[in-house]
Amino acid sequence: MALKRNVGLLEGLKYRGGGPMLAWLLHRISGLGILVFVGLHILAAFLTQQFGSDAGIFINIIYESWAFQIFIFFCVLFHAINGLRIIILDLWPALLEYQREAIWLEWFVFIPIFGLAVFVIFSGSLGG
Amino acid sequence: MQVTLKIFRYDPEKDKKPHYDAFKMEAEPTDRVLDLLEKAKGYQDGTISFRRSCAHGVCGSDAMRINGMNRLACKTLVQDLGVNKITVEPILGLPILKDLIVDMEPFFDNYRAVTPYFINDEPAPAKERLQSPEDRERFDDTTKCILCGACTTSCPSFWANDQYLGPSAIVNAHRFIFDSRDKGAAERLAVLNDLFGVYRCHTIFNCTLACPREIQITQAIGEVKKAIATGKLD
Ligand code: FES
């Protein structure tokens, strides 16, 4: 009997698609990250306001921690810039010829902004 | 140089699960991966199964995953891989019949779904249907497809669901949609506007990188998406 066609997550991740595939994966992960952040935010506000419970404050402490802040900033910034790349390429398919350059440009914009934000978050958490 | 060729093995009559066999051999840097497979099959284990026909990148029968990426074994030189451990595995997302041989039928079902042939019911002129060089140029890139399946089986959307027509079928639809002599564009665009049509493409570009004919596949898909959205062929 033939082996089924199913492609496992690990097997798929092992495929060597390179930069564009990584960007797509990060887009998915950052999308989920944003969802978790917004979900926690709503949950925390709901718990504090409706029940005045300490659980809300506890969740607040989690997502106000510097590590979570850096993670969420990564998600939002990456999702935004990558989304912009996809929108531009969708609207002008002729530009798809330069998809490699588009990805380089994306990292070129992303890295300094993200670096700066990490620096600000860090110095804020250490100094203040 | 000495190379180790690791081959994905699965015999439906004996094996419950697939495994890998390693074959050590002497190879020239200019040998193709297909040559290594032939050597392993010819001298070490005659039961190794794989497809090949032309051995010159024309028939499209030997697409496989070579060191983790879809390529044609007959167009991949050992020196291009830059390592002396070479792993060959079947392409992903299609049922595996034996070793490197997959069942291409779902792939060809998707191909047939886009009516990949010339459609024009108007009576043909006495000599031929003329076309300007510019009009011919419009779809030149997508005429190069050899239906090897390297693109479709590199696409995570196709891995997730083989009802997605896949890059190859869209490329072959593009070849006729943008042909000024063809009149079947509307019906093909309708097929591609379906739930499992072009919008399953998330511009991951694996297809473009995998294509052994260097077709700008994602661009072709982008052009079809735009034609559907705007209703214009330009
Ligand atoms: S054997 Fe024909 S394309 Fe490789």
Per domain, the residue ranges of chain A are 20-125
Q: What is the span of the domain harbouring residue B177?
A: 105-230
Both B66 and B128 in one domain: the answer is no
Nearest Cα of chain A lies from the Cα of B170 at a distance, in angstroms, of 15
Rounded to the nearest integer, the mean pLDDT of chain B is 96
| B48 and B129 together in one domain | no
Q: Looking at the structure, do residues B134 and B73 belong to the same domain, yes or no?
A: no
Q: Which atom of ligand 1 is nearest to the CA of B72?
A: 4
Average pLDDT over residues B204-209: 96
Q: Which of B69, B162, B226 sits opposite A93 (nearest CB)?
A: B226
pLDDT at B93: 96
- The whole-angstrom distance between residue B20's C-alpha and the CA centroid of its chain comes to 24
Contact across the interface for A17 and B204, Cβ inside 8 Å: yes
Do B219 and B111 fall into the same domain?
Answer: yes
Q: What is the mean pLDDT of residues B138-157?
A: 97
Residue B201's nearest CA partner among B160, B230, B231 is B160
**Does B166 share its domain with B217?**
yes
Interface of B with A (CB under 8 A): 10, 12, 18, 65, 67-69, 92-97, 103, 106, 154, 156, 159-160, 162, 202-206, 208-209, 216, 218-219, 222-223, 225-226
What are φ and ψ of residue B97, in 5° steps?
-85, -50
| Tens digit of each residue's pLDDT (9 = 90 or more) over B34-88 | 999 999 999 999 999 999 999 999 999 999 999 999 999 999 999 999 999 999 9
Number of domains in chain B: 2
**Tokens 């042939």, located at residue:** B117
Q: Is residue A125 classed exposed, middle or buried when 0-12, 13-18 and 19+ CB atoms within 10 A define those classes?
A: middle
User: Of B51, B77, B102, which one is at a domain's C-terminal end?
Assistant: B102
Tens-place pLDDT, residues A75-127: 999 999 999 999 999 999 999 989 899 999 999 999 999 999 999 988 877 76
CATH no. for residue B51?
A: 3.10.20.30
In this structure, are B127 and B92 located in the same domain?
Answer: no
Which atom of ligand 1 lies at the shortest distance from residue B55's CA? 1
- For residues B109 and B93, state if they share a domain: no
Q: Which of A4, A12, A17 sits opposite B209 (nearest CB)?
A: A17
Q: How far is the CA of B164 from the centre of ligand 1 (A)?
A: 25
Q: What is the pLDDT of residue A48?
A: 86
The CATH number given to A20-125 is: 1.20.1300.10
Between chain A and chain B, how many beta carbons pairs sit less than 8 Å apart?
80
pLDDT computed for residue A29 by the predictor:
96
Say whether pLDDT at B234 is over 80: no
- The first and second tokens of residue B60, run together, are 């499209």
pLDDT (tens digit, 9 = 90+) per residue, B176-188?
999 999 999 999 9
Among A121-125, B19-23, B97-101, B133-137, whose mean pLDDT is lowest? A121-125
Confidence (pTM): 0.91
| pLDDT for A114 | 96
Closest chain B CA to residue A100? B205
Task: Read off the CATH number of the domain in which B193 is found.
Answer: 1.10.1060.10
B102, B127, B146 — which closes off a domain? B102
